[in-house]
Amino acid sequence: MKSRILRWIMAVLIIKAYGVFGADINNLYTNHRAMKIDDILTVMVVEEAKAGSQSGTNTAKKNSASVKGMSGTGALGFLPQFGAAAGTDVAYDGKGSTTRAGSLVAKISARVIKVLDNGNLVIEGSKTVEINTEKEIIQISGIVRPSDVGSDNTILSYQISDAKITYSGKGTANNGQRPGLLARFLNWLL
């Protein structure tokens, strides 16, 4: 009798535990990675780019001509010796360099908008953050291999094929960096 009551209590406890923790138990056995249209995954944008270039040119050219020791002959024998000289020096030394660096670190959710025939996922997402009338907009799109999506449903931005990542801003601070109408007209004119 005791064992029957004990089994019944254990069964009730297991059912209650499954009711409380059922979702967590299911997570151990189910896969919540993005696989179909309208599934959402998190893109970890980690981009860093550096580029540089240096060039140099060095040229030199030297010409000279000289006439010496000539004396008149015949009827012009009375003329004294004379000499002539000419010369040119041309030199050019030019150097130039350019350097550019940038980095972007962000998290953005993207939606699967298409599943290709080979199983790859076409994703697209955007995020707008507005603080005091200043907007920061991040947009991302590209193609993802399902095997690159982590078990936590995230993917790194450098694992996205044909990735297009744009980061832009709108507002007073952004407008302050833009040249005025007259300056833009003069730049276009010149």
What is the C-alpha to C-alpha distance for residues 35 and 123, in angstroms, rounded to an integer? 11
pLDDT at 83: 55
What is the C-alpha to C-alpha distance for residues 157 and 139, in angstroms, rounded to an integer? 12
Over the stretch 85-127, which tens digit does the pLDDT of each residue have? 667 776 767 777 777 777 888 899 999 999 999 999 999 999 9
User: Could you tell me if residue 137 is inside a domain?
Assistant: no
Phi then psi dihedrals of residue 73, to 5 deg: -130, 160
Residues 26 and 59 in one domain: no
pLDDT at 170: 75
- Give the tokens for residue 69: 């020791």
User: Could you tell me if residue 159 is inside a domain?
Assistant: no
- Give the tokens for residue 18: 């499954």
pLDDT at 135: 86
Query: How many structural domains are present in the chain?
Result: 2
What is the C-alpha to C-alpha distance for residues 188 and 43, in angstroms, rounded to an integer? 39
pLDDT at 140: 94
User: Could you tell me if residue 66 is inside a domain?
Assistant: yes
Residue where one domain finishes, among candidates 98, 133, 154 = 98
pLDDT at 123: 96
Residue where one domain finishes, among candidates 98, 113, 131 = 98
Residue where one domain finishes, among candidates 82, 98, 114 = 98
pLDDT at 24: 47
Mean pLDDT by 10 residues, the chain (190 residues): 73 65 49 81 86 72 62 56 62 72 86 94 93 87 93 91 88 58 67
Query: In terms of residue numbers, what domain contains 61?
Result: 53-98
pLDDT at 122: 96
The overall pTM is greater than 0.85:
no
pLDDT at 131: 84
User: Could you tell me if residue 57 is inside a domain?
Assistant: yes
